[in-house]
Amino acid sequence: MDRIGVGLIGTGYMGKCHALAWNTVHPVFGDVPKPRLVHLAEASAPLAEKRADELGFEKATGDWRDLIDDPEIDVISITTPNKFHAEMAIVALEAGKHVWCEKPMAPSFAEAEAMAEAARQSGKVAMLGYNYIQNPMVRQIRKLLSEGAIGSVNHVRVEMDEDFMADPDAPFAARNERANGYGALDDFAVHPLSILQTLFGNMTRVLCDMDKPYADRPVDGGKRRAVENHDMASVLFHLHEGISGVLMVNRTAWGRKGRIALQIFGSKGSILYDQERMNEMQLYQAPGRPGEQGYRTILAGPQHPPYDRFIPAPGHGLGFNELKTIECRQLIGRMRSEDTLGIGFADGLEIERTVHAMARSFERGRWEVVA
Amino acid sequence: MDRIGVGLIGTGYMGKCHALAWNTVHPVFGDVPKPRLVHLAEASAPLAEKRADELGFEKATGDWRDLIDDPEIDVISITTPNKFHAEMAIVALEAGKHVWCEKPMAPSFAEAEAMAEAARQSGKVAMLGYNYIQNPMVRQIRKLLSEGAIGSVNHVRVEMDEDFMADPDAPFAARNERANGYGALDDFAVHPLSILQTLFGNMTRVLCDMDKPYADRPVDGGKRRAVENHDMASVLFHLHEGISGVLMVNRTAWGRKGRIALQIFGSKGSILYDQERMNEMQLYQAPGRPGEQGYRTILAGPQHPPYDRFIPAPGHGLGFNELKTIECRQLIGRMRSEDTLGIGFADGLEIERTVHAMARSFERGRWEVVA
Amino acid sequence: MDRIGVGLIGTGYMGKCHALAWNTVHPVFGDVPKPRLVHLAEASAPLAEKRADELGFEKATGDWRDLIDDPEIDVISITTPNKFHAEMAIVALEAGKHVWCEKPMAPSFAEAEAMAEAARQSGKVAMLGYNYIQNPMVRQIRKLLSEGAIGSVNHVRVEMDEDFMADPDAPFAARNERANGYGALDDFAVHPLSILQTLFGNMTRVLCDMDKPYADRPVDGGKRRAVENHDMASVLFHLHEGISGVLMVNRTAWGRKGRIALQIFGSKGSILYDQERMNEMQLYQAPGRPGEQGYRTILAGPQHPPYDRFIPAPGHGLGFNELKTIECRQLIGRMRSEDTLGIGFADGLEIERTVHAMARSFERGRWEVVA
Amino acid sequence: MDRIGVGLIGTGYMGKCHALAWNTVHPVFGDVPKPRLVHLAEASAPLAEKRADELGFEKATGDWRDLIDDPEIDVISITTPNKFHAEMAIVALEAGKHVWCEKPMAPSFAEAEAMAEAARQSGKVAMLGYNYIQNPMVRQIRKLLSEGAIGSVNHVRVEMDEDFMADPDAPFAARNERANGYGALDDFAVHPLSILQTLFGNMTRVLCDMDKPYADRPVDGGKRRAVENHDMASVLFHLHEGISGVLMVNRTAWGRKGRIALQIFGSKGSILYDQERMNEMQLYQAPGRPGEQGYRTILAGPQHPPYDRFIPAPGHGLGFNELKTIECRQLIGRMRSEDTLGIGFADGLEIERTVHAMARSFERGRWEVVA
């Protein structure tokens, strides 16, 4: 594999993020072939051309299928709205392309299953955009847990909160439609689930409550339209190995901007983490001199790979976008048969399965078994 | 009411705390009669005499009923183990004494009901030791909510965590017996419930999960005994007025020492609070200049009554014990027919009712209606 | 010494604080005789009577010399404005009373010297109200330093900031008169100096800059009067044993309410502390596993004596007033010839000497030797 | 200007940082021509070739003068050790290249002057690598100050601390030689000075103390060599417009990893900032409802340009490297005659002037006028 031919579908929030990752993965890591940014697809040809110029792609098209047919492309980034993921990913995989698809997989579980099946049959790399697990601090937590730094884990709490839908007078949006999913579960819960899966594996049973703080939202013409899904979800859960926990997500949480707060309790200590301060984590270890124990605030540094590939000095801080660059390196690693950290379609399907179990639990008002 | 005659039963953790409150309430507030510390009861006469001398009480006894019969006593502080609360409180009330009883009311709901009934019939003041609601910061939160500072509240999360039972090798204790209650629910959950009741009223329905991280604990002779109740509880709940929320309590949470963390989300902002930093609260208000919003860390000061009665300068900090002094002032106020903040037996009964509904929910694995 | 007879002069901010300490020292510590609150002096007899009733003193007077003559008094708390300290303390000591005098000693160095001399000659206990050194967290820092927890200390920074004079439109006050001292140096710098002395000993040389942010302030009648002293001081200093450092004080620091922030750097670690979060300290120790070092936030608890005398559980928090209770216990200890922690008049004189050297340095614009 | 031809000298810490900036500035900003990475120089040809391949440069050389002669190069990044800056920058400017040179300018003031003069005469853009001023949070502070958000500024404190030289047993390094500068002044002080200059302009007078915590360090063969410069400096200063302040720098500060802590006090409020949490700033504004004031923690977001060019959502966080990308955009802007934020050689010379005045002050033990 001399160079990697890259295709990109979509250039919104995540599309640009993928493009930046493809632009930087080689100079940052130095141990992977330089990607060739071959072909970019957008909703229209003129927009595609504009973006291709900005983001450094050679060719542009208004029809994403042109990327499928492009023999110069090895891997396709899919960053379109969720409802398009399944078709694009399946077609791409069937055409022998590797796929890097943004989360979540698809609105329906059946589609997600089809994606996972297509990936399995293709033998190609199919990875999902769960970038938060790539944070060197999350990896450090994983290392600490595996070394028994806090003993045997028995309880976990995780919260994901933002406030982009907190204003009751914000207009009704696509996000508020049932067709676009359950609400906070699809939007947010999958991220904490990706972290939990990376650290502990999957959930076995869940009990979910959901809520919508605002029953309706303004639409054009001075009227209001009923909100169709839920901006908050709170979930009691059990993981394999006897770990209990609580998952809380809220996209109407005024004041929170990018919070993913994790609390992990074990028999010998505990660990705290908050994505809003993504270059820190906190470690409490019970053994020690009396009166000198406390949470240690560890700042990210070169001892937490691959931070060292970005900056040689500790405490200087990575940014959100750089997590995607790390993810891109993992993807390339998989394309080269390295054993890297990432959530492929098979693992992603378990996340989807869990989300649907949560929704079912809410409807039925009772515990649901996930598997 | 010239002077207030005080009796104290019990001199452990809370007993000393009550004694300090009775010693300081007059010099701190200046607007209440000086209490006369009349009579102290402990398990034995010699211990009672020792403590009476230390804590400033005139008389001492090994039999708590001597306090009931003492005509010089107006009010009795009950700080014994929970299982004695009901009998002592009821006898005292029937004898015409005011009662200041530590939380929770009693292990069984029937006993708690009897206490509330005795209080009602006596016409005496019967207050419970829910001191956290007396924190000037909690009162400030209450004021902010009532003024609509964060709009209409729609979601609440509250956590109470300590680590005094976090060591799996700590010996089996009375706390681990079922006879002493459900575990974290009695020990901890009642405190957050007292805060929620003060701010929002009572819960309507709950769904509770509980867990015990350590199945057994060492007993004398090198053997181990099965733990009979649960050190953790996680509860989904609904309050009146459409507020949903999550309550989490854990007395095996390594690293947490006195955490009672509150997150309140509303339509115009949010409020955060953590008892481990009891002289602070955080306020986020949505309206404002773009790019200048954020959580404001407000330090306790004389603008937050009755902080001013302790210290005239802001940011100097009250301590945990001083909350009890404030509570004592509320108690005296009620004895003088002032309308003060505190949880009487009738309100306390609602807290007990909620805890029992939680336990029921756990047993049945489903939502339970509280009332 | 069966009981201790106490006199109190002054009932303002610090007067009440002393009174609370005298009321609680016995029930809190249990190992000292119960003080008898004998006699209270205020500016007028009626005020004295009112306060004596509130604060629990038996007798009241409008003439402080009545306390000197009262044979029932063993020790006198002096909490009047600074300019009265010298006369009162000297007369009291000469009359054979122990003295507990608020900081600083006196506006002029000569007066402070006379106070120290009177104390020396009297053989009585003469202690100053440097309560911040009594914080169990500061004592913990002292213990850590003495055990070499951060190796050999080489640099120290300390800041004390409040904002009670930050408003440029606040009226001209006595504090702004030169007759009342240098400004922030007397008001604030002595507190950090008491901490530095407790931890490291005295300064050897200093270089001081001072500033006044507002040249004049409003007086009655719509005019303005020139401010005569300085609200800020910044000082480079050297301590014995080769430690360099910086002291910064500012009583016009908007946003700061009770900040005394300490940073101590050594050859093996560092320590942080901030009085605004007085129940915490932070410890960084260099040795350890790579990637796991960080500042440990230690919460005050029973392992940090005498916290345990107030509360048996960790993380529940002491308050500012309780530091005075601890100081009171130290004072009583000295009266009983125990070796306790406190700043007597001899040590206090070194603090005064340092402050005057700072003022001299500012006038001369150069380094000044302290001794 | 169709495309920008870029040359890079040096590929260490800052060299890679420049390379990443050149790789990302176009896809991030979209409004500048795509740079062409033409030519890279390193100490040897083989190393240069290796790095050129990793960092995406077309040509490689072991002789930096080849870049000067390369007609395809418009701008040269100079990231070599400080002692080479002057010669390289002057030759490049004289050859008609724009220059982007890492800080500080040069070890001697004469060299720095020559650089500034060369820049002036060339008419080319000559910018220095003071990337911290490019942080959207620092720009937000600048905006707030210019709008009078905290009134008239009267006092500033700034600290820069890291611990890469904190270990007393770390071997003697080039950094410890006098020939490499004063120590912490060159290494660190210039960064806070760049921020102060950006916010307030230059210093007028300074008083500096310096210290070396470890007199000697190990060299090969088991011996020790005397440290020749100072790892700490503490400076009292005055800025134009009557602002006083303190600057403190320490490269032996155990526990600090990338701290640049700023405290700005004004007549109506104050501002705090710490580079270790580079996506936050704190604002205190005095006016407001009593009891509701406090420091507001503002998280970086799209309202703080050019954060929006990287991420559309608030609170997700930029990284250290992305500051260099912003700086690169400023550099390109200047090449296109836009009025952008950056420190050119003329402004940089004032920073050098200040540092040398500090060193002089330390030698003479007195205040020094800067200009």
Set of chain D residues whose Cβ sits within 8 Å of the Cβ of B291:
140, 298, 301, 303-304
Q: How high is the pLDDT of residue D241?
A: 76
CB C320 within 8 A of CB B311: yes
Please give the ipTM for the structure prediction.
Answer: 0.96
**Do A144 and A256 share a domain, yes or no?**
yes
**Do D148 and D94 share a domain, yes or no?**
no
Nearest CA in chain A to C285: A296
* Separation of alpha carbons B237 and A172, rounded Å: 28
Q: Is the pLDDT of residue C88 over 70?
A: yes
Q: pLDDT digit string (tens) for B190-242?
A: 999 999 999 999 999 999 999 999 999 999 999 999 999 999 999 999 998 78
Set of chain B residues whose Cβ sits within 8 Å of the Cβ of D298:
291-294
Q: Is the dihedral of CA A40, A45, A51, A54 positive or negative?
A: positive
**Do C330 and C309 share a domain, yes or no?**
yes
The size of the A-D interface in CB pairs under 8 A is: 117
Q: Is the pLDDT of residue B9 over 90?
A: yes
Report which of D176, D138, D150 is spatially closest to residue D264, judged by C-alpha positions. D150
Instruction: Tell me what the pLDDT averaged over chain D comes to.
Output: 96
Domain that residue A223 falls in: 135-369
Residues 6+ away with beta carbon under 8 Å from A229? A176, A177, A178, A180, A181, A182, A183, A212
Domain end point (choices B131, B154, B186): B131
Q: How high is the pLDDT of residue C241?
A: 76
Looking at chain C, the whole-number percentage of residues with pLDDT higher than 90 is 95
**Do A104 and A195 share a domain, yes or no?**
no
**Do D127 and D172 share a domain, yes or no?**
no
Instruction: Tell me what the pLDDT averaged over chain A comes to.
Output: 96
Q: How high is the pLDDT of residue B179?
A: 87
Whether D299 sits inside 8 A of A276 (CB atoms) is yes
Instruction: Tell me what the pLDDT averaged over chain C comes to.
Output: 96
CB B106 within 8 A of CB B86: yes
Mutate to test the interface with B, among D144, D147, D296 (most CBs of B within 10 A): D296
Whether C55 sits inside 8 A of B27 (CB atoms) is yes
> Which residue carries 């040389």 as its tokens?
C205
Q: How high is the pLDDT of residue B241?
A: 76
Averaged pLDDT, C73-90: 96
Set of chain A residues whose Cβ sits within 8 Å of the Cβ of B294:
255
Q: Is the pLDDT of residue C1 over 60?
A: no
Pairing of strands C126-128, C98-101: parallel
Set of chain B residues whose Cβ sits within 8 Å of the Cβ of A268:
254
Confidence of residue A236 (pLDDT cuts 50, 70, 90): very high
Whether C301 sits inside 8 A of B257 (CB atoms) is yes
Report which of D260, D263, D340, D270 is spatially closest to residue D305, judged by C-alpha positions. D340
User: Bigger pLDDT: A1 or B58?
Assistant: B58
Q: How high is the pLDDT of residue D179?
A: 87
Q: Is the pLDDT of residue A1 over 70?
A: no
| Residue ranges of chain D with per-residue pLDDT less than 50 | none
Q: Which of A16, A24, A312 sits opposite D13 (nearest CB)?
A: A312
Whether B296 sits inside 8 A of D294 (CB atoms) is yes
Whether C291 sits inside 8 A of A283 (CB atoms) is no
Q: Which of A213, A246, A250 sits opposite B234 (nearest CB)?
A: A246
Nearest CA in chain D to A312: D13
Mutate to test the interface with C, among A147, A295, A308 (most CBs of C within 10 A): A295
Whether A255 sits inside 8 A of B236 (CB atoms) is no
Side chain identity at A73, as an amino acid letter? Answer: I
Q: How high is the pLDDT of residue B242?
A: 84
Helices C345-364 + C190-200 axis angle, to 10: 120
| CA distance to partner chain C, nearest, from residue D371 (Å) | 19
Angle at the Cα of D159 from the Cα atoms of D158 and D161, rounded to 5 degrees? 160
Set of chain B residues whose Cβ sits within 8 Å of the Cβ of C166:
none
Whether B283 sits inside 8 A of D299 (CB atoms) is no
Residues in B lying within 8 Å of C, measured between beta carbons: 13, 16-17, 19-20, 23-24, 26-28, 30, 34, 54-56, 162, 164, 256-259, 276-279, 299, 301, 310-322
Q: Is the pLDDT of residue B158 over 60?
A: yes
Specify which residues C299 forms β-bridges with.
C280
Nearest CA in chain D to B137: D291
CA D106, distance to chain mean position in Å, is 13
Domain end point (choices C109, C131, C153): C131
Whether A234 sits inside 8 A of B236 (CB atoms) is yes
Q: How high is the pLDDT of residue D347?
A: 98
**Do A126 and A169 share a domain, yes or no?**
no
Whether A313 sits inside 8 A of D26 (CB atoms) is no
Averaged pLDDT, A321-349: 97
Set of chain C residues whose Cβ sits within 8 Å of the Cβ of A301:
291
Q: How many domains does the structure of chain D reveal?
A: 2
CB C282 within 8 A of CB C299: no
Set of chain C residues whose Cβ sits within 8 Å of the Cβ of D164:
none
**Do A189 and A217 share a domain, yes or no?**
yes
Report which of A332, A341, A299 is spatially closest to residue A29, judged by C-alpha positions. A332
Averaged pLDDT, C78-88: 95
Nearest CA in chain A to C304: A291
**Do D139 and D127 share a domain, yes or no?**
no
Find the helix or strand (DSSP H, E) in which B216 lies.
Answer: strand B216-218
Q: Is the pLDDT of residue C257 over 90?
A: yes
**Do C164 and C113 share a domain, yes or no?**
no
Mutate to test the interface with B, among C14, C188, C321, C326 (most CBs of B within 10 A): C321
Q: Which two tokens stand for residue D97?
A: 């290249």
Q: Which of C155, C166, C365 sits opposite D286 (nearest CB)?
A: C166
Whether B316 sits inside 8 A of C277 (CB atoms) is no
Q: How high is the pLDDT of residue A371?
A: 82
Looking at chain B, the whole-number percentage of residues with pLDDT higher than 70 is 100
Whether D246 sits inside 8 A of C234 (CB atoms) is yes
Q: Is the pLDDT of residue A240 over 90?
A: no
Cα–Cα separations (whole angstroms), residue B113 to A311, B81, D238, D365: 64, 18, 71, 78
Nearest CA in chain D to C269: D254
* Separation of alpha carbons C193 and C170, rounded Å: 28
Q: How high is the pLDDT of residue A241?
A: 76
Averaged pLDDT, A144-154: 98
Mutate to test the interface with D, among B292, B295, B298 (most CBs of D within 10 A): B292
Q: How high is the pLDDT of residue C131?
A: 96
**Do A100 and A184 share a domain, yes or no?**
no
Side chain identity at B1, as an amino acid letter? Answer: M
Q: How high is the pLDDT of residue B159?
A: 98
Q: What is the 3-state secondary structure (H, E, C) of chain D?
A: CCCEEEEEECCCHHHHHHHHHHHHHHHHHCCCCCEEEEEEECCCHHHHHHHHHHHCCCEEECCCHHHHCCCCCCEEEECCCHHHHHHHHHHHHHCCCEEEECCCCCCCHHHHHHHHHHHHHHCCCEEECCHHHHCHHHHHHHHHHHCCCCCCEEEEEEEEECCCCCCCCCCCCHHHCHHHCCEHHHHHHHHHHHHHHHHHCCEEEEEEEEECCCCEEECCCCCEEECCCECEEEEEEEEHHHEEEEEEEECCCCCCCCEEEEEEEECCEEEEEEHHHCCEEEEEECCCCCCCCCEEEEECCCCCCCHHHHCCCCCCCCCHHHHHHHHHHHHHHHHCCCCCCCCEHHHHHHHHHHHHHHHHHHHHCECEECC
**Do B126 and B151 share a domain, yes or no?**
no
Q: Which two tokens stand for residue B138?
A: 């909690």
CATH at A110: 3.40.50.720
Domain end point (choices B131, B151, B184): B131
**Do C55 and C103 share a domain, yes or no?**
yes
Mutate to test the interface with B, among C159, C259, C311, C329 (most CBs of B within 10 A): C311
CATH at D337: 3.30.360.10
Set of chain A residues whose Cβ sits within 8 Å of the Cβ of B272:
255
Nearest CA in chain D to A163: D314
Q: pLDDT digit string (tens) for B243-302?
A: 999 999 999 999 999 999 999 999 999 999 999 999 999 999 999 998 999 999 999 999
Averaged pLDDT, A182-208: 97
Side chain identity at D28, as an amino acid letter? Answer: V
Q: Is the pLDDT of residue A157 over 80?
A: yes
Set of chain D residues whose Cβ sits within 8 Å of the Cβ of B283:
292, 294
Q: pLDDT digit string (tens) for B69-98?
A: 999 999 999 999 999 999 999 999 999 999
DSSP state of A172: P
> Which residue carries 């700042």 as its tokens?
A299
Cα–Cα separations (whole angstroms), residue D355 to A257, D105, D108, D112, D371: 40, 11, 11, 12, 11
Phi/psi at B182 (nearest 5 deg)? -75, -15
Q: Is the pLDDT of residue B1 over 60?
A: no
CB D115: neighbour CB atoms within 10 A?
Answer: 28
Confidence of residue A242 (pLDDT cuts 50, 70, 90): confident
Q: pLDDT digit string (tens) for C4-14?
A: 999 999 999 99
Q: pLDDT digit string (tens) for D263-300?
A: 999 999 999 999 999 999 999 999 999 899 999 999 99
Nearest CA in chain D to A36: D56
Nearest CA in chain A to B286: A254
> Which residue carries 């009311």 as its tokens?
B105
Q: Is the pLDDT of residue B114 over 60?
A: yes
Residues in B lying within 8 Å of D, measured between beta carbons: 140, 144, 282-283, 290-299, 301, 303-304
